[in-house]
């Protein structure tokens, strides 16, 4: 029978499939824990998720003092960075108290003796004698701290010296550069020495990038931006298995943030950060390339930076980009084109907490404006926004001008319970709940992928006036 798939296409499919599986190919590993020093504890193992947060994957409850328990870590999470969490009670009558220990697991079965109260002290919690990953990382970071401290002293001198034109200052620059080169060489040597260990993939995050000491502080920021990405090996797919990659990228984006003085400049600089980073990652491993697109998608979505979202479009059709956010990015870009000032707001119907059925097209209010607030009770950004928005909207000059309809995207029983409690703080708003959350029809029609989102409407015509990202922008558009 003739194959329906071109051999070259089949090879490409297999190549991408192999790349997708590459980081998590290990065998299951056992983690044996000997508990001591407390009455009992629940023990949870958290793994790094795709969105760079730690999520529970294993749990054992009711482990008593001097008991031993074993966790079997699935190979799909290996090698990786983990959090071992103890919710322990010192006495039977005590309330459980949390403690966390970060650890690395690769291809070695582990045995840990641990006192939860002091789980990060080496004399109270320790692995078996021939443990490799965590011992190597601990040794590297201890020596790294000593070496970096000396470099930091020189850096502080150069940053605060009052005569940058002096021969002494120039001599200080030369000394700093020599020591920076020596330090970075040491990091590379340690990486080579520990190359068989997963933790060696974290060492490059410690490298100190080049910076010019001539010119102003702003000049140094621009120079640091220009050289920041040079240090990283983007061909190394295992860096996406570390939480340090996100922290390292956060620091890079924050360099741009320090230069932002206006919204217009923000909408210029943050997309530039995305293009530079993604293009650099594009030269490396497809998984790292995809991770970088996902990272900037989350940032642009959380901060409502439409100009940033638009720069992601060219990467969506690149088969080498193993992003997990293609659908979400396309949906957001469609929303940017559709939900624009001057266009009619999509109609919807949802039951309100007061027992009525809210239908947008039929809703009447004497207020001039209608504000749709898409939010979630367990969202920290939502909490911050709603707690600023409510007292502002209740002010005498605003309460009759602006009617607020708060639409909850909470889904689970726990989330809905938290929502029912939270809305007591906002009694004068009209509260609705979209039971299917971000997958609900209303979320799809308004292209909601994360919360909070504000949509300001003309209360009479139901035409969109703006999609303010902040209270400041809302006050500008509603007056």
Q: Which residues contact 451 (CB under 8 A, 6 or more apart)?
A: 374, 375, 376, 379, 381, 382, 409
Please tell me whether the overall predicted TM-score, pTM, comes out greater than 0.85 for this model. no
Shared domain check, 306 and 215: yes
Q: Say yes or no to pLDDT of 3 above 80.
A: no
Shared domain check, 162 and 107: no
Shared domain check, 457 and 356: yes
Q: Which of these three, 276, 308, 338, is where a domain ends?
A: 338
Give the range of the structural domain holding residue 275, as residue numbers without chain letter: 211-338
Residue 49: per-residue pLDDT: 85
Shared domain check, 220 and 199: no
Q: Which of these three, 159, 179, 208, is where a domain ends?
A: 208
Q: Say yes or no to pLDDT of 176 above 50.
A: yes
**pLDDT cut 90: percent of the chain above it:** 73
Kindly state whether residue 3 falls inside one of the protein's structural domains. no
Q: Say yes or no to pLDDT of 4 above 70.
A: no
Kindly state whether residue 289 falls inside one of the protein's structural domains. yes
Shared domain check, 106 and 137: no
Kindly state whether residue 8 falls inside one of the protein's structural domains. no
Residue 5: per-residue pLDDT: 33
* CA distances to 181, 212, 346, 410, 423 from 161, in Å: 22, 15, 59, 54, 54
Kindly state whether residue 325 falls inside one of the protein's structural domains. yes
Residue 122: per-residue pLDDT: 84
Return the CATH number at 86. 2.60.40.180
Kindly state whether residue 14 falls inside one of the protein's structural domains. no
Kindly state whether residue 308 falls inside one of the protein's structural domains. yes
Kindly state whether residue 18 falls inside one of the protein's structural domains. no
Shared domain check, 118 and 152: no
Shared domain check, 243 and 178: no
Q: Say yes or no to pLDDT of 191 above 90.
A: yes
For residue range 7-26, list pLDDT tens digits in order. Answer: 333 333 333 333 434 455 57
For residue range 371-421, list pLDDT tens digits in order. Answer: 999 999 988 889 999 999 999 999 999 999 999 999 999 988 889 999 999
Query: How many whole angstroms separate alpha carbon 20 and alpha carbon 237?
Result: 10
- Give residue 304's pLDDT band: very low, low, confident or very high (50, 70, 90): confident
Higher pLDDT, 306 or 228: 228
**pLDDT cut 70: percent of the chain above it:** 94
Residue 303: per-residue pLDDT: 83
Shared domain check, 320 and 237: yes
What does the pLDDT average to over 308-333?
92
Shared domain check, 137 and 119: no
Residue 354: per-residue pLDDT: 85
Shared domain check, 171 and 226: no
Shared domain check, 222 and 327: yes
- Based on its alpha-carbon atoms, the radius of gyration of the chain, rounded to whole angstroms, reads 27
DSSP-derived 3-state class of residue 74: coil
Burial 57-70 (b: 16+ CB within 10 A, else e): bbebeebeeeeebe
For residue range 24-33, list pLDDT tens digits in order. Answer: 557 999 999 9
**Lowest-pLDDT range of 46-55, 141-150, 402-411:** 46-55
Residue 360: per-residue pLDDT: 96
Shared domain check, 360 and 313: no
Domains identified in the chain, total number: 4
- Give residue 106's pLDDT band: very low, low, confident or very high (50, 70, 90): very high
The pair phi, psi for residue 78, each rounded to 5°, is: -110, 150
Return the CATH number at 413. 3.40.30.10
Query: How many whole angstroms separate alpha carbon 337 and alpha carbon 334?
Result: 5
Q: Which residues contact 322 (CB under 8 A, 6 or more apart)?
A: 16, 19, 20, 286, 287, 289, 290
**Lowest-pLDDT range of 31-40, 235-244, 376-385:** 376-385
Q: Which of these three, 161, 188, 208, is where a domain ends?
A: 208
Q: Say yes or no to pLDDT of 282 above 80.
A: yes
Kindly state whether residue 13 falls inside one of the protein's structural domains. no
Q: Say yes or no to pLDDT of 153 above 70.
A: yes
């Amino acid at each position: 029978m003739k194959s329906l798939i071109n051999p070259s296409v089949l090879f490409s499919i297999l190549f991408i499939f192999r790349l997708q599986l590459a980081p998590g190919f290990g065998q299951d590993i056992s983690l044996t824990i000997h508990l001591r020093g407390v009455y009992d504890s629940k023990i949870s193992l958290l793994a790094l998720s795709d969105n760079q947060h730690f999520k529970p994957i294993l749990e054992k409850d009711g482990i008593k003092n001097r008991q031993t328990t074993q966790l079997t870590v699935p190979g799909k999470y290996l090698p990786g960075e983990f959090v071992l969490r103890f919710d322990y009670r010192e006495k039977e009558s005590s309330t459980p108290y949390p403690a966390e220990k970060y650890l690395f697991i690769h291809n070695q079965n582990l045995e840990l003796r641990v006192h939860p109260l002091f789980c990060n002290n080496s004399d109270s919690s320790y692995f078996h004698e021939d443990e490799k990953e965590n011992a190597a990382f601990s040794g590297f970071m201890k020596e790294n701290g000593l070496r970096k401290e000396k470099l930091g002293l020189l850096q502080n001198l150069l940053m605060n010296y009052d005569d940058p034109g002096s021969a002494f200052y120039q001599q200080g620059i030369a000394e700093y550069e020599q020591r920076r080169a020596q330090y970075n060489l040491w990091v590379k040597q340690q990486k080579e020495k520990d190359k068989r260990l997963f933790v060696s993939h974290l060492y490059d995050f410690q490298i100190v990038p080049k910076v010019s000491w001539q010119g102003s502080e702003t000049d140094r920021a621009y120079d640091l931006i220009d050289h920041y990405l040079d240090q990283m090996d983007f061909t190394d797919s295992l860096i996406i298995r570390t939480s340090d990659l996100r922290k390292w990228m956060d620091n890079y984006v924050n360099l741009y943030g320090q230069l932002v003085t206006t919204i217009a400049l923000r909408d210029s600089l943050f997309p530039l950060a995305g293009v530079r980073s993604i293009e650099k990652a594009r030269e490396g491993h497809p998984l790292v390339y995809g991770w970088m697109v996902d990272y900037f998608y989350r940032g642009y979505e959380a901060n409502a930076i439409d100009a940033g979202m638009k720069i992601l479009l060219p990467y969506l059709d690149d088969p080498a980009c193993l992003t997990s956010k293609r659908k979400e990015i396309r949906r957001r870009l469609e929303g940017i084109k559709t939900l624009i000032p001057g266009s009619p707001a999509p109609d919807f119907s949802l039951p309100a907490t007061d027992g009525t059925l809210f239908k947008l097209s039929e809703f009447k209010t004497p207020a001039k404006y209608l504000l749709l607030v898409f939010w979630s009770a367990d969202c920290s950004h939502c909490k911050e926004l709603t707690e600023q928005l409510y007292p502002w909207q209740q002010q005498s000059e605003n309460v009759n001008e602006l009617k607020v309809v708060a639409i909850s995207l909470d889904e689970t029983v726990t989330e809905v319970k938290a929502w029912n409690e939270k809305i007591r703080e906002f009694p004068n708003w009209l509260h609705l709940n979209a039971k299917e959350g971000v997958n609900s029809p209303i979320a799809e029609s308004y292209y909601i992928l994360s919360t909070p989102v504000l949509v300001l409407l003309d209360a009479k015509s139901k035409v969109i006036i703006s999609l303010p990202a902040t209270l400041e922008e809302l006050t500008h558009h509603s007056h």
